[in-house]
Amino acid sequence: MTLMIDYPFPGAAPWVDHFKDIDLPVLRHTVQQLDELREAADTINTRKLATIIEHDPLMTLRVFQLMAKRRGARQSGEITTIERALVMMGTQNFYDSIQSLPIIEQQLKGYPKAMLGLLKVIARSRHAARWARDWALLRQNVGFDEITLAALLHDFVEILMWCFAPTLASRSRETVASTPGRRTCTVQQETFGASLDDIMIELIRRWSLPGLLLSLLNPADAESANVRNVKFAVDLARHTANGWNDAALPDDYRAIESLLHIGHSKLLARIGAPEELVLAARQAELEKEQQDDQARGR
């Protein structure tokens, strides 16, 4: 029986202490997909296996935790992607380490609202990861895999809260939704006793997750193009989750267009915005071009 936390802890440190040795649950679908490939563990393509793992933020965290435990003193250089981690440990050793995984759906069986909230955050994380990867490739960044993982894991503490403090997570979400003018970190401080970013940064250190991951998630490095790549993808995923008419989206678009040096209609098409929005943006750009041509011809 998993112990659920119903009251806030006094600060980030007690949360980190609580989570540091926790057995991370994973999605039932992840377990089913991995089990289907278990018999071919010795010959399976590591990219195929990594794709399944990276679809589940908590399974991704489990692999990094496993690598941290297995990392020998002689190993030089950090493993910063799931595929490299699988190559290093071997796919059979990976399967040996996941004989009996806790399942999120079982853990949250009595918390349907929390299960829905959790799935929404995971869906948001997947969107962020997909966009972050696409933009990193467009920027011809060789570290696109690391940028993808940073976007996927950006909200992993919020996911942990839905898993282990579902009542508090629901309260936080409801407060943010009912008071749109309030800063999210303020609501988190009141609800959990600490901001989720503070908990995240310390957990990354405590779990010996890749240092590169910490740098990509660090708000202090906000001027870095790679950090902005991650942040903008996370922001866009968060705001589009509220609908394509969210008031924060115009600012998101401008920031992303500046990072990628592309026009508005091209960005909307690239992120899969509704067709009517893409067409309206193209029409506006065409009209602007015509006005500019007329102005030059005077």
Residue 103 β-bridge partners: 26
Is 270's pLDDT higher than 80? yes
Is 220's pLDDT higher than 70? no
Q: Is-contact 174 185, C-beta < 8 A?
A: no
Q: What is the mean pLDDT of the chain?
A: 89
pLDDT band at 117; cut points 50, 70, 90: very high
Supply the pLDDT for residue 76.
45
Comparing 100 with 251, the larger pLDDT belongs to 251
Percent of the chain with pLDDT over 90: 61
Supply the pLDDT for residue 183.
85
pLDDT band at 258; cut points 50, 70, 90: very high
Q: What is the mean pLDDT of residues 179-202?
A: 88
**CA–CA distance, 173 with 170 (Å, rounded to integer):** 5
Q: Is-contact 136 147, C-beta < 8 A?
A: yes
Comparing 76 with 35, the larger pLDDT belongs to 35
Supply the pLDDT for residue 1.
58
pLDDT digits (tens, 9 = 90+) for 79-90: 788 998 899 888
Q: What is the mean pLDDT of residues 275-294?
A: 88
pLDDT digits (tens, 9 = 90+) for 136-172: 999 999 889 989 999 999 999 999 999 999 999 999 9
Task: Name the residue ranges covered by the structural domains of the chain.
Answer: 26-101, 105-261
Supply the pLDDT for residue 229.
93
Buried residues in 72-89 as b, exposed as e (16+ CB within 10 A): eeeeeeebbbbbbbbeeb
Domain 105-261 superfamily per CATH: Hypothetical protein af1432 (1.10.3210.10)
Angle formed by the axes of helices 144-153 and 112-138, to 10°? 160
pLDDT band at 292; cut points 50, 70, 90: confident
The whole-model pTM stands at 0.91
Is 241's pLDDT higher than 80? yes
Q: Which of 14-28, 209-223, 281-295 has the lowest mean pLDDT?
A: 209-223
Question: Can you tell me whether residue 80 is helix, strand or coil?
Answer: coil
pLDDT band at 219; cut points 50, 70, 90: low
